[in-house]
Amino acid sequence: MSNPTDNEALIARLRAGDQSAYAQLVEEHASRVYRLALRMMGNEADAEDVLQETFLSAFKSIDHFESRSSLSTWLYRIATNAALMRLRRKEPEQVSVDEPLESEEGDLMPRQFFDFCCLPEEDLLRDEARAEMQRAINELPATLRSVFLLRDIEGLSTEETAEALDLSISAVKSRLMRARLKLRERLSAYFSQGAVLTEESSK
Amino acid sequence: MSEHHEHDCSHYLGSLSDYCDGVLPSELCQELEAHIAECDNCRVVVNTLSKTVMLYRRMPSPDVPHDVKERLYKVLAMRPKNE
Chain B residues closer than 8 Å to A19 by CB: 78
Q: What is the pLDDT of residue A200?
A: 64
For chain A, percent of residues with pLDDT exceeding 90: 73
Q: What is the pLDDT of residue A105?
A: 45
- The per-residue pLDDT of chain A, averaged, comes to 88
Assign A69 a pLDDT band (cuts: 50, 70, 90).
Answer: confident
Answer whether residue A84 shows pLDDT above 80.
Answer: yes
How far apart are the CA of A139 and the nearest CA of chain B, in angstroms? 15
Q: What is the pLDDT of residue A107?
A: 76
Answer whether residue A199 shows pLDDT above 80.
Answer: no
Q: What is the pLDDT of residue A167?
A: 96
Asked if B49's CB is within 8 angstroms of A184's CB, the reply is: yes
ipTM of the shown complex: 0.88
For chain A, percent of residues with pLDDT exceeding 70: 86
What is the number of other CB atoms lying within 10 angstroms of the CB of residue B61?
A: 13
Q: What share of chain A is helix, strand, coil (3-state, %, to 5)?
A: 80, 0, 20
Chain A residues closer than 8 Å to B47 by CB: 115, 117
Assign A39 a pLDDT band (cuts: 50, 70, 90).
Answer: very high
Q: What is the pLDDT of residue B3?
A: 43
A177 vs A148: CA distance, rounded Å: 9
Report angle CA B54, A176, A121 to the nearest 5 degrees: 15
Q: What is the pLDDT of residue A127?
A: 92
**Contact of B41 with A110, CB cutoff 8 Å:** yes
**Contact of A108 with A176, CB cutoff 8 Å:** no
A84 vs A96: CA distance, rounded Å: 10
Asked if A114's CB is within 8 angstroms of B71's CB, the reply is: no
Assign A96 a pLDDT band (cuts: 50, 70, 90).
Answer: low
Q: What is the pLDDT of residue A97?
A: 43
How far apart are the CA of A23 and the nearest CA of chain B, in angstroms? 6
Answer whether residue A162 shows pLDDT above 60.
Answer: yes
pLDDT digits (tens, 9 = 90+) for B30-57: 999 999 999 999 999 999 999 999 999 9
A201 part of contact set with chain B, CB < 8 Å: no
A123 part of contact set with chain B, CB < 8 Å: no
Question: Quick one: average pLDDT of A3-32?
Answer: 89
A108 vs A105, higher pLDDT? A108
Question: Quick one: average pLDDT of B63-67?
Answer: 96
Residues 16-35 in A contacting B (C-alpha not used; CB under 8 Å): 19-20, 22-24, 26-27, 30-31, 34-35
**What SS3 state is found at A101?**
helix
pTM of the model: 0.89
Instruction: Look up residue B63 and give its DSSP letter.
Output: P
Total length of chain A? 203
Residues 140-169 in A contacting B (C-alpha not used; CB under 8 Å): 148, 152-153, 155
Cα A105 from chain centre? 23
A88 part of contact set with chain B, CB < 8 Å: no
> A35 to each of A50, A62, A163, how far by Cα in Å?
11, 22, 19
**What SS3 state is found at A109?**
coil
pLDDT digits (tens, 9 = 90+) for B5-29: 556 788 899 999 999 999 999 999 9
Task: Please provide residue A68's backbone torsions phi and psi, each rounded to the nearest 5 degrees.
Answer: -70, -20
Answer whether residue A104 shows pLDDT above 80.
Answer: no
pLDDT digits (tens, 9 = 90+) for A168-191: 999 999 999 999 999 999 999 999
Asked if B49's CB is within 8 angstroms of A52's CB, the reply is: no
Assign B1 a pLDDT band (cuts: 50, 70, 90).
Answer: very low
What is the number of other CB atoms lying within 10 angstroms of the CB of residue B51?
A: 21
A156 vs A154: CA distance, rounded Å: 6
A81-85, B2-6, B16-20, B68-72: least confident range: B2-6
Q: Which of A31, A53, A115 to mutate to test the interface with B (most CBs of B within 10 A)?
A: A115
Q: Which helix (H) or strand (E) holds B49?
A: helix B40-57
Q: Which residues of B touch A (CB under 8 A)?
A: 1, 6, 9-10, 13-14, 16-18, 20, 40-41, 44-45, 47-49, 51-53, 55-65, 68-69, 71-73, 75-76, 78-81
